[in-house]
Amino acid sequence: MTITLAAAHAAFDDWSQSPVARRLAVLEQLHSGLLARAGEIAQTVCREVGMPIRLATAIQAGLPATVTRTYLDLLPSFPFRETVGNSEVQYLPVGVVGCITPWNYPLHQAVLKVVPALAAGCTVVLKPSEVAPQSAYILAEILDSTGLPPGVFNLVCGPGATAGEALIHHPDVRMLSFTGSTDTGRRVAHAAADDCKRLALELGGKSASLVLPDADLAAAVKGTVNSCLLNSGQTCTALTRLLVPADRHDEACELAAAAVARMTPGNPLDEATRLGPLASAQQHRRVLDYIRLGLTEGATLVTGGPDAPEGCARGYFVKATVFGHVRPDSRIAQEEIFGPVLCVIPYRDEAEAIGIANGTRYGLSGAVWSADPERARQVAGRLRSGQVTVNGGAFNPRAPFGGFGHSGLGREFGRWGLEEFLEVRSLQL
C-alpha cells in the first residue's frame, strides 16, 4: 500500500496540471474499452454477484459506459476558472483519492468514482470489495491500455480490515470516497476527520414507496416490486417499504404477491431468470435471519419465507418475500435487509404516510404515486431523501444522487459528482 500511494502521490503534480483535452482522450479510450468488453463485463459480474445476465448486460455492463459518456459530454464546458467581481475562482483537484467500492454493482460504483476523479485531475487508488473484485481488473486493464501515466490510477485488492484500513488512514490520501454500509461509513468518516480529509459517502437506505389514495395501485405496486427485487434486493435505493392506504392494504398485498410470482428464480446465466442468488453465504444468512425476524415480529407473511425456492436448493437463493401489516417501528421496517424482502405498511392519512416515510435514519431514495402529478410533486417535496421518483420517472445519470441522514454525504453523477473531487480557491486580482 505504501508503494502504491507513493506512486499516486508522485503522479499527482503532472496529472493535476494536464489539460482537459488530455483527460478527455483517456476517458474516450476508456469508454470505447468498456463498450468493447461489455459482454465480458456482464458475464463477470453475473457470476460474481448473481444478477441475471439480461439485467447484468443492461445495468452492470451498460451503466459504466453511460456514466463515462456523461463526463465526456460534461468536461469540455466545465468552468474550472470563472470570474466573480475582482476575483478569479479556480476549481482544483483535491489530490490523491482513495475509493472504496461495494460488491453489489462493482464496476458501476468504481467508474462512478474513478471517472470524475480522473476528470478532475486527481490520482486514484481504488480498493474494490473482496467479494466481487474481478471487474475492477477489467477496468485496470482498459485504463492501462489508454496510455494513462503510471501512478494516476492504482488498484489495490484485499479485505477491508487490512487494505481498506491502510487506505483510509494513509496521510497521502486527501479524499475518501466510500460506498457501502452505514456502519462502515462511520468508521471511514472517523478516519477522514482525524486527518481532515475530504469525504464523500454513499451509504444504506430503507426507501419508501408512498402510494396516495388516488394512485393507480397496480402500477405503483408493480413499480415498487421491480425496484425492491432488482439485483435480488441488493440495491441501496431499493423501494423496500410500500406505504398504502389502510383500506387498500389487502389489495396491495395481493398485487405484490402476483408481481413477485412472475420473478422466476434460477441460474443467473439463463436468459429466462428474473431473480438470481444472493452474492455470498454471509448475505444469504443475513437475509434469512431478517425474514425469520419478520415472522417473530408479528408481520403477516403474504408470500415467500425462509425456505429455499423450489428447484433452487443449492446456492444462495432466497424466496422473494412480501410481509403485510408491518409496523413502521419494527426492525424489518427500520433496518436495511439488502435482500428480496418487501414490507407493506398501511397508513390512515397523508400526514401519517409522510411521517412513516421519513421515520427511519435513512434518506437515500423514495417514490410517490398519484393520479395528480402536481400533488405527487408536493408530497415528494416533503420526503427527506436525496432522490424521489414520481410516478415511475426514469433514472437520469446526469442528475445528482446521494443521501440525507445516515444515507451519506455528498453527491455523485453529473457535475455534482465532478465537484466532489475539486477544491475551490479564489485569486483576488
Do residues 272 and 264 lie in contact, with contact meaning Cβ atoms separated by under 8 Å? yes
DSSP 421: T
- Non-local (6+) Cβ contacts of 269 within 8 A are 43, 46, 47, 53
Task: Give the 3-state secondary structure of residue 41.
Answer: helix
In angstroms, what CA-CA distances link 283 with 49, 131, 203, 262, 344? 11, 11, 17, 23, 23
Q: Which of 254, 230, 252 is nearest to 242 (CA)?
A: 252
In angstroms, what CA-CA distances link 293 with 100, 232, 283, 346? 31, 19, 15, 20
| Residue 284: strand pairing partners | none
Alpha-carbon gap, residue 192 to 209, rounded angstroms = 34
Residues with catalytic annotation? Answer: 202, 236
Alpha-carbon gap, residue 399 to 105, rounded angstroms = 19
Alpha-carbon gap, residue 53 to 40, rounded angstroms = 11
**Could you tell me the three cell numbers for 116?**
470524475
